[in-house]
Structure 1
Amino acid sequence: MGTDSRERMVRSAAYLFRERGYSGTGFRDVIAHSGAPRGSIYHHFPDGKAQLAEEAVRYAGEFLNAGILAATEGGDAASAVDAFVGWWRQVLIKSEFRAGCPIVAVTVESHDDAPQLASAAAAAFDRWQDTLATGLSNAGVPDDRAARLARLIVAAVEGATILCRAHRDVAPLDDVVAELKEMTRSAVRED
């Protein structure tokens, strides 16, 4: 049982959490979606669903962070916003507003029995913020302001994604993006 089936299960879990949430996704769903052999999920995730979810959160966090990192290198301050938002916009439209952020999905459900899930989610959000803050700083935003703006970008985009799903429209995301881009541009001019 190789790492290929393990990686497929982690990716599938992240994908399924986007639409069904943590509670709505079971091992059986992950096996069916990933095409992995039935017994392999118990082999690769002996600590159960929480272990799979923790790894899916890490995977989703790193996946998006890589996109942010690539898009913010050498760009202006507004490109940091575009980097974070472009992928979400595609996910919303392609899924017909059924999919959101798998990290939010795992975060909002209570996991008193699996506190590592909140820790993994916090680490992913922190990583996005750090990457965005670095991109903003490199574009000329003062470091302290860049850190605050990065946190605002993550929070606003995650919130706008939820509004888009509720309204089945990308207008909330587009409105938030327009304001965030203006804020980041003005933060460079204020320096």
Structure 2
Amino acid sequence: MGSDSRERMVRSAAYLFRERGYSGTGFRDVIAHSGAPRGSIYHHFPEGKAQLAEEAVRYAGEFLNAGIVAATEGGDAASAVDAFVGWWRQVLIRSGFRAGCPVLAVTVECHDDAPQLTAATAAVFGRWEDTLATGLGNAGVPDGRAASLARLIVAAVEGATVLCRAHRDVRPLDDVVAELKAMTRAAAEGA
């Protein structure tokens, strides 16, 4: 029961959380989706579902953060918005608007019995904000403005993703992106 099996289960959990949420995803679902051996889930995640979810949140966070880092290297403020949004747009369309953000899915559920999940999701959102703020700063947006604009980008895109799922249409995301790109360009130009 190697690390490949563990990695598949983490990726599968993140994938399933996008559509079913934390509460709607069970160990059986993760085993079936990942193709991992039945007994491996408790071997790799002895602390249970919360441990698996925490790792899935981190995985999803790092996956998206890598895309943001790559896109912001060009020094264009609007590309930071495109980087954060492009992948979500594809996910929404390909899933028939059934899938959203696995980090948001875990965040919105109550975790009194697993406070580490709240900490993990906060860390991911914070990392995305920091990465976006750095990219915006490199594009000429003043530091204080870059941090608040980065938080707005994360909040607006997450909210727009929810609206897209509700309306089964990408227009809410497209509208939010257009406004965010205009704001980032203006902020970079000092307007």
Structure 2 equivalent of residue 95 of structure 1: 95
SS at 2:189's partner residue? Answer: helix
Pairs within 5 Å for 1:70-109 = 70-109=70-109
Separation (CA, whole Å) in 2 of partners of 1:74 and 1:141 = 14
Structure 1 equivalent of residue 51 of structure 2: 51
Q: Deviations over 1:159-190 (max 9, x none)?
A: 00000000000000000000000000110121
Q: Which residues of structure 1 form unaligned runs of 5+?
A: none
Q: Deviations over 1:44-83 (max 9, x none)?
A: 0000000000000000000000000001102311000001
Q: Deviations over 1:94-137 (max 9, x none)?
A: 00000000001000000100000000000000000000000000
Separation (CA, whole Å) in 2 of partners of 1:126 and 1:105 = 16
CA RMSD of aligned residues (A): 0.6
Structure 1 equivalent of residue 112 of structure 2: 112
Separation (CA, whole Å) in 1 of partners of 2:38 and 2:77 = 47
Structure 1 equivalent of residue 178 of structure 2: 178
Separation (CA, whole Å) in 2 of partners of 1:87 and 1:146 = 22
Q: Which amino acid aligns with 1:79?
A: S
Q: Deviations over 1:18-49 (max 9, x none)?
A: 00000000000000000000000000000000
Pairs within 5 Å for 1:21-170 = 21-170=21-170
Normalising to structure 1: TM-score of the pair? 0.99
Normalising to structure 2: TM-score of the pair? 0.99
Separation (CA, whole Å) in 2 of partners of 1:50 and 1:94 = 28
Separation (CA, whole Å) in 2 of partners of 1:118 and 1:28 = 24
Q: Which amino acid aligns with 2:189?
A: R
Separation (CA, whole Å) in 2 of partners of 1:125 and 1:41 = 27
